[in-house]
Amino acid sequence: MFNEFKQVMVDQRLKSRFKNFCFGGLWDLPDHMKFNGQLVHYILLHRVEQDNKLHEMWFCINDRPVCFGLKEFLLITGLNCGRYAHNSKYVKALEEGEIFLKKIEKKKSINAKRFLKLIRGGRLDKEDNFKCCLVWFVHCILLARDLSKIVDIDTIRMVDNLSFFERYPWGKESFALTLDYLKKRINFSRKKKTFETKRVLSYALYEFL
């Protein structure tokens, strides 16, 4: 998905602008980077339950306690994990973005696949095209939504105010969803039955792994 996004950003000025935006640090991730499912599975098997640690996960690796929380997520990704804006500022940003929403969204909803066609279509001016690229990046990369999923209307509204959009703690959003999926219980007995019949054993992990 990330490689596909890079192919969309072929315009040099568009690319330069994105690299100078709050997500720019993720642009230079190496192309050969692959998700290591075996490593993540190994770590999850060494998880230690902590009742009072709702916003982090603890593991015991080689008899040493290891924490994965918001601080670690920030160090790895460089994303903004600060405070959310005051509710009144958030509401104001959404109200101001209503015109942009109507310009982009002719129907009641738009999925990421149609959004990508809109970006590639060339009918948008450069400013609107850049905003659409940011929304697509948040939807497909940071929040790991499928291309067929509907893009969040509030995200489309919010991007019309670029300064507010850049200050928004997207790292917190991505971290919360990632942690939620990592904490999901795996029904190993059911997976065992699937393996015995289909000889395939796997489970799904989502969000910004």
Q: Report which listed range, 52-61, 99-108, 158-167, is most confident.
A: 158-167
| Per-residue pLDDT at 125 | 86
* Residue whose token pair is 């991007």: 159
- Check: CB of residue 8 under 8 Å from CB of residue 116: yes
| Per-residue pLDDT at 159 | 93
| Per-residue pLDDT at 118 | 82
pLDDT beyond 80 at 191: no
Assessment of whether the complete model's pTM goes beyond 0.75: yes
SS3 67: strand
Q: Report which listed range, 35-39, 45-49, 143-147, 204-208, is most confident.
A: 45-49
Encoding tokens for residue 147?
Answer: 């291309």
Predicted confidence band of residue 134 (pLDDT cuts 50, 70, 90):
very high
- Cα separations in angstroms, 91 against 96, 129, 130, 135: 9, 24, 23, 18
Residue 29: is it exposed, middle or buried by C-beta count within 10 angstroms (0-12/13-18/19+)?
exposed
- Nearest-Å Rg of the Cα atoms of the chain is 19
* Residue whose token pair is 């982090």: 56
| Per-residue pLDDT at 121 | 80
Predicted confidence band of residue 3 (pLDDT cuts 50, 70, 90):
confident
- Check: CB of residue 170 under 8 Å from CB of residue 80: yes
pLDDT beyond 70 at 13: yes
SS3 204: coil
What does the pLDDT average to over 178-206? 76
Encoding tokens for residue 149?
Answer: 């999923």
- Check: CB of residue 155 under 8 Å from CB of residue 141: no
- Check: CB of residue 6 under 8 Å from CB of residue 24: no
**Residue 13 CB partners (closer than 8 Å, separation 6+):** 126
Given phi > 0 = left and psi -120 to 50 = alpha, else beta, which region is 199? left
